[in-house]
Structure formats: C-alpha cells, structure tokens
C-alpha cells in the first residue's frame, strides 16, 4: 500500500508516470534485514567525499550520461565491454564507476541480490549533492538494471547545441524549458577541456578572433594562461572558487559573459531562456529546490521493472 501511495504522490507532482509504478521512497526498508541500505550508501559516499570532493562532479555526470545517453536510467553506462556505452566518445571522460562498485560490494555482503546498481548510482548522487552544498531530497528507489549497454545507442547533446535544439532534446523526456535550464545547472561543478572551447578563444566561426559573446578578461585568462599550447588542460564551468559547490554561481557567471560552453553562454542571452537564468542567478534557494526536483525527475526516465531488467551481482557486467 505504501508503495502505491508514494507513486500517487509523485504522479500528482508530475515527476513520474505510471510506467514507474515499481519505485517508491523508502523502497529498501526491511529488505536488507536490519541494515539501512540508504545509510550504507551515504556512509561510503561521505567517506569518499572527505578526501575527493570532485566525486560530486563525477556522480552528476555519470547519472546524466547514463540517463540521457539512451533515455533510460538503467545503469547501462556502468557495463564494461569492447562495444559498451563507456566506449562512446561522449563517455570517454566519465568517472565514478569505482565508487558504485565499492558500494555494491558492501551491500552484497549485507543482502546479496537486493539492491540494483542503478539505485546505488541515483542514491549516491543524491548524497553527494547534499555534501556539496545542495539540499536533501528523497529519491524513489526500486529500479532494475539494464541488460544491454551499447555505444551505438548513445546520443548526447554536443556542447554547441542551440537553445532551441536543447529544449527540444530535453523536452523529449518530459523536461519543461525551465527544467532544462535548471538541469544545465549541474555545470556548477563541471569541467571541460581546452580543446572543446579553443575555437571560442582563438578562431570563432573562422574569424581568427575570439567569440565576442565571451567576457574579454576571460578570453585573455583562458587563451593566454590556461589553454595556451595545452588542449587537454581542464577548464572549470563555474567559478574556481565554487566549482566543488552545488550553488547558483554558475548562472551568475553566465550573466557576466563567462559561460564556457557555447550552450552555457547561449541560455543567458536567448530571449526564450534569459529570464530563467536571471531568476536562478538571483536566488540560490530557488535553484537548489528546483535542482533537487529535476534530478528526481531525470532519475525516473525510462526506469526498468523486474520483467525488463535484473539486479546485477556486479555492476560492470550483466548476470
């Protein structure tokens, strides 16, 4: 009964449709003997975060790429293999797999075959968001793991996608225009590489000049200090002072012309999205609340049930 009540609440909030009826908040209560599954996950994430705060960026990107790559939150990106999703070009630099494996091993010792790798990924990301300055939020659990993960199935938006195409892309899985802009707020802890943005710094659209929409100081700083002769150098998508904190400073950077990726810069000045960016830049609590809701919504995209998926014994391979 409790499971159905939880799903009805989510339906009313517009966060989930009837195909996700197998998920619920508190799903693992009583399913692992006397052990609290979510507490075990939280403890391991907290231990990792204490010496590796970059794990917040790794987990957010892992969850995003797993879900949006094939429009399913099914842990397919966790699978290894010569043609797996991990071998798709957009996933080359995805990290965090080792933490999911560590958590899985700990849970298998307590209650074998109970907790899916997909749920571990979702709950761990939630816990990392809280540790990095976000708010706590409940996530429905009860997902099953996918049995297929192929590089050929991966379709992710490029960094230079237009605002209109980004809205259409995320709209395919039910995100509103505002939710799309909030989801891009995950760049608050993101990084890219100089080779991704070098055209904006040196030869924008073949002009032999920087992108005029990019802040002039930022062009000098990135072009002459950070990226000069080093295509593989990391570039933060948010302020270096805030890059390990989940907050709204990303949007404040955008309003100063410091959006690193073309899509970041574009949403700040496109008439259809500029007001959203302004509102999010002005109110951190507003961003954190919406970001939590959007992560829950994303985590419920294409969820598999017991007939479509499995509970993997090891996260990197199917049973």
Q: Any known ligand binding at 187?
A: yes
Q: Any known ligand binding at 66?
A: yes
> Whole-angstrom distance between the N-terminal and C-terminal Cα of the chain?
31
Q: Any known ligand binding at 238?
A: yes
The 3-state secondary structure of the chain reads CHHHHHHHHHHHHCCCCHHHCCCECCCCCCCECECCHHHHHHHHHHHHHHHCCCHHHHHHHHHHHHHHHHCCCCCHHHCCCCCCHHHCHHHCCCCCHHHHHHHHHHHHHHCCCCCCHHHHHHHHHHHHHHHCCCCCCCCCECCEECCCCCHHHCCCCCCCCCHHHHHHHHHCCCCCHHHHHHHHHHHHHCEEEHHHHHHHHHCHHHCCCCCCCCCHHHHHHHHHHHCCCCCCCEEECCCCCCCCCCCCHHHHHHHCCCCCCHHHHHHHHCCCCHHHHHHHHHCHHHHHHHHHHHHHHHHCCCCECCCCCECCCECCECC
Q: Any known ligand binding at 98?
A: no
Burial of 281 (0-12, 13-18, 19+ CB in 10 A): buried
Q: Any known ligand binding at 76?
A: yes
- The answer to whether 4 is a known catalytic residue is no
Q: Which of 42, 48, 61, 65 is catalytic?
A: 65
Nearest partner of 132 among 59, 24, 239, judged by Cα: 59
Q: Any known ligand binding at 305?
A: no
Q: Any known ligand binding at 118?
A: no
Q: Any known ligand binding at 211?
A: no
Q: Any known ligand binding at 157?
A: yes
Q: List the binding residues for substrate.
A: 157
Residues with a catalytic annotation lie at: 65
Q: List the binding residues for heme b.
A: 187
Q: List the binding residues for Ca(2+).
A: 66, 74, 76, 85, 188, 238, 247
Q: List the binding residues.
A: 66, 74, 76, 85, 157, 187-188, 238, 247
């Amino acid at each position: 009964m409790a499971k159905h009540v939880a799903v009805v609440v989510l339906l009313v909030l517009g966060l989930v449709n009837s195909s996700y009826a197998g998920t619920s908040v508190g799903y693992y209560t009583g399913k692992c003997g006397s052990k609290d599954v979510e507490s075990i996950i939280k403890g391991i994430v907290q231990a990792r975060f204490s010496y590796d705060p970059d794990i917040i960026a790794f987990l957010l990107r892992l969850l995003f790429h797993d879900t949006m790559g094939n429009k399913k939150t099914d842990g397919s990106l966790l699978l290894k293999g010569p043609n797996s999703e991990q071998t798709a070009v957009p996933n080359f630099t995805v990290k965090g797999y080792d933490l999911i494996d560590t958590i899985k091993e700990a849970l298998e010792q307590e209650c074998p075959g109970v907790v899916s790798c997909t749920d571990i990924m979702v709950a761990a990301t939630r816990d990392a968001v809280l540790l990095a300055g976000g708010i706590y939020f409940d996530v429905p659990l009860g997902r099953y793991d996918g049995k297929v993960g192929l590089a050929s199935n991966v379709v992710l938006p490029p960094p230079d996608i237009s605002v209109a195409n980004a809205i259409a892309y995320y709209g395919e899985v039910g995100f509103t225009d505002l939710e799309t802009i909030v989801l891009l707020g995950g760049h608050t802890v993101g990084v890219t590489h100089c080779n991704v943005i070098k055209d904006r710094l040196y030869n924008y659209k073949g002009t032999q000049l920087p992108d005029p929409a990019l802040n002039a100081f930022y062009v000098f700083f990135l072009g002459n200090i950070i990226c000069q002769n080093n295509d593989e150098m990391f570039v933060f998508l948010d302020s270096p002072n805030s890059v390990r904190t989940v907050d709204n400073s990303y949007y404040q950077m955008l309003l100063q012309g410091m959006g690193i990726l073309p899509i970041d810069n574009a949403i700040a000045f496109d008439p259809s999205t500029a007001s959203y960016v302004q509102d999010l830049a002005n109110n951190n609590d507003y961003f954190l609340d919406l970001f939590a809701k959007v992560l829950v919504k994303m985590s419920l995209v294409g969820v598999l049930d017991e007939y479509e998926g499995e509970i993997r014994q090891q996260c990197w391979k199917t049973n």
